Amino acid sequence: MTIRIAQISDAHLGASRDPFGPNFDLAAQQIRDARPDLLLATGDLSLDGADSEADLASAWARHAAIGLEWRAVPGNHDVGDEALLGGRQPWNTARAARWRALAGPRLWVHDLPGWRLIGLDTQSLLTDAAQWEVLAEAIAGAAGRAIALVQHKPLTEQSLADAAVNYWPVLPAPRARLLALFGDARPALVLSGHLHMWRDRVADGIRQIWAPSTGFIVGDPWQHALGEKRVGWVMHHFHADGTHDCELRDVPGAICHDLGDMPEVYGPLAPVRQD
């Protein structure tokens, strides 16, 4: 038995300003036509849901209107980001409550034949102590199923041993704490977004899949190219024997916007060092 799951990520939909909406609408129709069993949205559904209730509500409604059973995890543009990172929208309980009113708990479990999907909020692993107990129970209770973590930020950019503290991956301390919950085992799969790149890679014994955004990429002057910079979505096949395969789906007619050329959206981006 195989369960087909569409993963859409980083749509960045706005209620009043909506530069990436047309791309999303094309992808949404493509997903509807593909008739997957489940839809996963891996964060940044909204353009500015961290500050705008209207953005968050309309982004949620437009994902729901695809008309499939679906699950979502929040991104930094939906609920804010770890205060340690020093951004202008720190994760807090008010932002998390807005998400909860629409989406329910930020942590969830969804079982399939042979698999347990665990959704989590990577923006609050340092701040929100309450979720660790739920995570530990979800992992311990998998009862032999392979575990797929479903999250906004990737576990790491390259290696689980990376010590870098920056905007892109799960921070080193919560990464180590999360992996420790698995004991000697590892999650089989980690599905994430946030990087706005496509990458399908096995590293440190974990298959780590980065879904691209449907809306935009961040060009090389502003973000290192660790994967393929393109827009699209991912179709996954979860097999009951605990195996999995997936493929990238391009969206015909979608525009590959570069956020670096659109300072009107989030302001000018800082260049990265090219060395």
Name the site residues for Fe ion (rule: CB under 5 A).
10, 44, 75-76, 194
Q: Cβ 37 to Fe ion, closest distance in Å?
A: 25
* Smaller CB separation from Fe ion, 174 or 242: 174
Alpha helices in 83-235 (DSSP H): 93-103, 131-140, 172-180
Q: Cβ 237 to Fe ion, closest distance in Å?
A: 25
Q: Cβ 141 to Fe ion, closest distance in Å?
A: 29
| Token pair 């107990």 in the structure block, residue | 133
* Smaller CB separation from Fe ion, 158 or 167: 167
Starting at the earlier edge strand, list the strands of the sheet with 2-8: 70-73, 38-42, 2-8, 233-239, 244-249
What span, in angstroms and rounded, lies between the C-alpha atoms of 42 and 69?
15
* Smaller CB separation from Fe ion, 25 or 44: 44
| Token pair 């961290």 in the structure block, residue | 50
| Token pair 């899949």 in the structure block, residue | 209
Give, in order, the Cα–Cα distances in Å from 159 to each of 41, 119, 274. Answer: 25, 22, 21
E strands, the chain, in order? 2-8, 38-42, 70-73, 108-112, 115-119, 146-150, 189-192, 199-203, 206-210, 216-217, 233-239, 244-249, 257-258
For residue 197, the SS3 value is: coil
Q: Cβ 140 to Fe ion, closest distance in Å?
A: 29
* Smaller CB separation from Fe ion, 30 or 76: 76
* Smaller CB separation from Fe ion, 30 or 123: 123
Q: Cβ 13 to Fe ion, closest distance in Å?
A: 11
Q: Cβ 201 to Fe ion, closest distance in Å?
A: 19
* Smaller CB separation from Fe ion, 14 or 75: 75
* Smaller CB separation from Fe ion, 106 or 194: 194
Instruction: For residue 191, give the H/E element and its range.
Output: strand 189-192
Give, in order, the Cα–Cα distances in Å from 119 to each of 21, 44, 164, 229. Answer: 25, 14, 24, 25
For residue 126, the SS3 value is: coil
Q: Cβ 151 to Fe ion, closest distance in Å?
A: 11
